Amino acid sequence: MVFAGAFGIAPRGHIRNRVTTVTAKAQLEAAGLSARESDFSEIPQIDLGPMAGDDPVAKQATAKALRDACVNVGFFYIRNHGLPQQVIDDTFALCPRFFGLPLEEKMKIHVKKSVNNSGYTPLLEENTDETALGDLHEGFDMANELPADDPMARGREALYGANQWPDNLPGFKDQMLTYFEAVKALGRRLFRAFALALDLPEDYFDPMVTKPTGVLRILSYPSQDGPIDQRQIGIGAHTDYECFTILGQQLGVQALQVQNGRGEWVSAPPIPGTFVVNIGDQMARWTNDVFASTRHRALNLSGKPRYSMPFFLGTNYDTLIEALPSCVGPDRPAKYPPVIAGEYVLSRFDATYAYRQEPKAE
């Protein structure tokens, strides 16, 4: 596939000498797509292990590191997160199986056929950057699967309820549900670390995440080996909608770029044994922008498909998101009006997905 644009970028595997490398670098810079390579000290690694223990001093040390990362970067890696590597590997193994299905099979579960944004999204049907031309990835989404008679799901089916599942893909549903529940449990542990980082009781968020809105995605990014237009890359520059995102990255394939406070794009490579976590817009609103919701994007130049697994974790649908008491004061008034968590997420979905912008039948 050839993508429109003025800047031809050779596949990374074909760059064989310094002259070609410099040329490719110049072209990326000209297209506004270059990312600075660094030691990634700007994106810290945090040991989450203490949050599974009973040592208050160790927990406070984790909370301090978390606060520093959230105030100054908005992104961080977590290690000792407690999620078994086999569960992660088994879920990543689903990606080529699902995205390798014939298009007509995937289209049977197009997201527009669901009530809760679950199912398949084809190339270019999502546009996270409203100034761009569409994102170059395919996706499969699932929501928090609750039975139809669950009180939390009733009347809130747009973010809960039954998901769409592909036919003739044995084990897919069970493994996705296993991973969803495992990462959701990890997210609850992270919420406790966030509470300590915000000078709140450790269990402050617990009642708000009993049945949280959550979206698990598996994504497939084709390699962009031809001309590149900065308005049409793997995923355009954006911030996430929910409280935070827990991202599993395919090892050996670099694509994620994070924008720092100076406006520079910094590569965030996969690191074995870690997840990448970033603050979303709800947490930024909740903390009155004490914590940064940081713009990021993805550009796959690896010469092969790139798979990723972001889990976007929010709160219970009806949670009121308003500035936390530890984040306001006489010199720092609340910046945002209160919003209902679920309603806010749905409004962002409406602005992102093409099918949600189609005229409604009269």
Hey, what are 88's tokens? 């992660």
309 lies in some domain: yes
As beta bridge partners, residue 228 has 7
Spatial distance between the Cα atoms of 236 and 11, rounded to a whole number of angstroms:
20
The owner of tokens 């870690």 is: 274
Spatial distance between the Cα atoms of 296 and 249, rounded to a whole number of angstroms:
14
Spatial distance between the Cα atoms of 329 and 287, rounded to a whole number of angstroms:
12
User: Looking at residues 17-23, what average pLDDT do you find?
Assistant: 35
Kindly indicate the confidence band of residue 356, based on its pLDDT and cuts at 50, 70 and 90. low
- The full 3-state SS of 139-176, as one line of letters, equals EEEEEECCCCCCCCCCCCCCCECCCCCCCCCCCHHHHH
131 lies in some domain: yes
Spatial distance between the Cα atoms of 277 and 187, rounded to a whole number of angstroms:
10
- Confidence (pLDDT) at 41: 43
Which residues are CB-neighbours of 57 under 8 A, at least 6 positions away?
A: none
What is the value of pTM for the model shown? 0.84
- Confidence (pLDDT) at 77: 96
- First vs last Cα of the chain: how many Å apart? 38
User: Looking at residues 323-328, what average pLDDT do you find?
Assistant: 92
2 lies in some domain: no
Spatial distance between the Cα atoms of 209 and 319, rounded to a whole number of angstroms:
9
299-312 per-position pLDDT tens digit: 888 899 999 999 99
Hey, what are 293's tokens? 């919701």
352 lies in some domain: yes
Which residues are CB-neighbours of 92 under 8 A, at least 6 positions away?
A: 248, 250, 307, 309
119-133 per-position pLDDT tens digit: 999 988 776 767 666
Kindly indicate the confidence band of residue 135, based on its pLDDT and cuts at 50, 70 and 90. confident
Which residues are CB-neighbours of 262 under 8 A, at least 6 positions away?
A: none
Task: Tell me the C-alpha to C-alpha distance, in Å, between residue 74 and each of 118, 180, 226, 245, 261.
Answer: 27, 23, 32, 11, 10
Which domain, by its residues, includes 142? 7-357
- Confidence (pLDDT) at 16: 25
CATH number of the domain within which 144 lies: 2.60.120.330
Average model confidence (pLDDT) for the chain?
83
CB atoms within 10 A of CB 315: 26
85 lies in some domain: yes
Kindly indicate the confidence band of residue 319, based on its pLDDT and cuts at 50, 70 and 90. very high
Backbone angles phi, psi at 121, to 5 degrees: -120, 120
362 lies in some domain: no
82-104 per-position pLDDT tens digit: 999 999 999 999 999 999 999 99
154-207 per-position pLDDT tens digit: 777 778 878 999 998 999 999 999 999 999 999 999 999 999 999 999 999 999
The domain total for the chain is 1
- Confidence (pLDDT) at 353: 57
282 lies in some domain: yes
Spatial distance between the Cα atoms of 267 and 259, rounded to a whole number of angstroms:
9
